[in-house]
A and B are shown apart, each in its own frame.
Chain A
Amino acid sequence: MKHFLYLNWQSARQALVKILRQPFGSLLTLLMLSIALALPLSLYLTVSSIQEWAGRLTATPQITLFMEQSAEEADLAAVSSTLTKHPRIQSYSFVGKKQALSDLEKRNGLPGLSDGLTDNPLPDAFVVTPKTLEPHELEMLQKELSGLPMVETAQFDARWAKRLYGMVEMGKQLTWFLGAALGIALVLVTHNAVRMQILARRDEIEVAKLIGAPDSFIRRPFMYHAMWQGLLAGLAAWGLTSWLVITANPAIHEFAQLYNEAVQLRGLSPVELLVVLAISALLAMLGARLASDHHLRQIQPR
């Protein structure tokens, strides 16, 4: 076991030394890999920055329940207990008709407005904060709440929230699509790189096979080569996106200021960076594995 680890450590080190010794040979592959990674990453960062900003903007969409004028204390208590127990409601607040009227007076600078009215025309209201942000679910909730006894209407301005949500959703889909397509490209690029290496070292592989090397022994240096390439490409892609964030942010900030908004393109978090490195290393190793499985079989003896 100790020896097995030692052998792997040796292969890993030798593979890295080989890459560092011929930086220009590996540079082209590395560049291709890192651009393939940087594209979906930048899109991901853009979308998640927009989402972050949108989340701050809407804070949380609220549904307002207006009660009928004839609603009594008991009806209010019934609605209030339903809202308390509802699994998809995070919180709610009650705005009574008297409070609503005094708010109106204050806000519009019309003190004494209520004195002129014989009856308070404003209804009691509940302001509900749902747990979900998803438009379809919000709509369902709105319908459900408007069906409660003595509730006149449940108001919710869904249209613009829906549009924003749709856009963010589309961006997410695009990120997934680009990520998957360029992930496949990453596998293919390493596949090709390893194929070339195997063909270049044909004699060596043949001799190793003749004197009893199992496929795992022959494959090992290629796997480590791919792993390092994946990791380096991941780091380079991180560098590219960081550069994008740093150079683009002042312009974005200036543009957003025109609309009195604070929008910022964010960089990768440490956890995200680790995930990106792991994925790119794994995809590169997958490419190496596929290439070696295919091409080692073609070298005699089998």
Chain B
Amino acid sequence: MQRMIQFDQVTKRYPGGNEALKNLSFTIDTGEMAFLAGHSGAGKSTLLKLVAGIERASSGSVIVSGQNLSKLRSSQIPYVRQHIGMVFQDHKLLFDRSVFDNVMLPLDIIGFDRRDAARRVRAALDKVGLLSKEKSMPIRLSGGEQQRLCIARAVVHRPSLLLADEPSANLDRAYALDIMELFKSFHQVGVTVVISAHDETLMEDYGRRIIRLKEGQFAA
């Protein structure tokens, strides 16, 4: 089995001396679906940021689909991110453009053919159940819909790795389950999925690996 993510003795120290991750080593296989659990401040977000190259490890190596991120120049990092889909807790949507254009952005960046791109965008919106709202502005969507829009944007360019940082944090349980089902369906078509959450009850139903963090280390 190939490895999608490999951490070797990774430590992340923020300026000011706060150690978010302490000497962490683990791997996540290609095609795996894994959960990151722990209280806020345990290091879940930092771990995901290291995988996406948003932050750099202070020591140790982070290898994502064969690329050692610590050795890449910062100008090469964007191209690594183009193969990753990211779902953010605060959605990070652009409120000055329509639902459709929000989902179009990753395809514009990659340089996708315009006509194929429109088809892809509609397919992604259909998948998350927002096709009827493609012309709406994101501000008119509910919290759950905004989260699903963020997911559509994360998967529209068909990344091989999907990272979700607390995707269900602000949603009620029914919505949260909906979103988990969505992630499961991406996993079933071969996408490696890593989801962080502080609420473990959602994860346990899925019978997947749970990586538990506490103060930057594996929890017992």
User: Footprint of B on A, CB under 8 Å?
Assistant: 3-4, 6-7, 203-204, 206-215, 217, 300-302
Contact = CB atoms under 8 A, between A and B. Distances in A.
B113 interface: yes
Contact of B79 (A4, A214, A302): A214
Nearest to A204: B94
A208 B106 CA distance: 8
A207 B106 contact: no
Contacts of A208: 105, 109
A212 B84 contact: yes
Interface string B39-54: 0000000000100111
Given A211-B86, A211-B105, A214-B75, A4 B81 contact: no
Contacts of A213: 78, 109
A210 B92 contact: yes
A207 B81 contact: no
A217 B96 contact: no
Contact of B109 (A6, A206, A217, A302): A217
Given A210-B54, A301-B54, A3 B113 contact: yes
Contact of B94 (A4, A203, A212, A214): A203
B109 A211 contact: yes
Nearest to A300: B54
A207 B138 CA distance: 15
Contact count band on B: 20 to 34
A302 B74 contact: yes
Nearest to B156: A211
Ranked nearest first, the 10 interchain pairs of A and B with the lowest CB-CB distance are: A212-B81, A212-B82, A214-B78, A301-B54, A213-B109, A212-B78, A207-B92, A211-B106, A3-B111, A217-B109
A277 B85 CA distance: 43
Nearest to A2: B113
B92 A209 contact: no
Contacts, number: 57
B167 to A, nearest CB: 15
B111 A7 contact: yes
Interface in B141-184: 153-154
Contacts of A204: 94, 96
Contacts of B111: 3-4, 7
A211 B75 contact: no
A94 B155 CA distance: 91
Contacts of A214: 75, 78-79, 109
Nearest to A213: B109
A6 B105 CA distance: 16
Among A204, A212, A301, which residue has the most Cβ atoms of chain B within 10 A?
Answer: A212
A211 B107 CA distance: 10
Contacts of B109: 208, 211-214, 217
A51 B14 CA distance: 67
Contacts of A302: 74
12 contacts: A4-B111, A207-B93, A209-B78, A210-B52, A210-B92, A211-B82, A211-B153, A212-B79, A212-B84, A212-B110, A213-B78, A217-B109
Nearest to B96: A204
A213 B113 CA distance: 17
Contacts of B94: 203-204, 207
Contacts of B93: 207
B165 to A, nearest CB: 11
A213 to B, nearest CB: 5
Contacts of A7: 108, 111
A110 to B, nearest CB: 89
Given A3-B111, A214-B79, A207 B54 contact: no
Contacts of A211: 81-82, 86, 105-106, 109, 153-154
A99 B106 CA distance: 90
A8 to B, nearest CB: 11
A18 B88 CA distance: 30
Contacts of A203: 94
A301 to B, nearest CB: 4
Given A207-B93, A215-B78, 16 more contacts: A6-B114, A204-B94, A207-B94, A208-B105, A210-B54, A210-B86, A211-B86, A212-B80, A212-B82, A212-B83, A212-B106, A212-B109, A213-B109, A214-B75, A214-B78, A300-B54
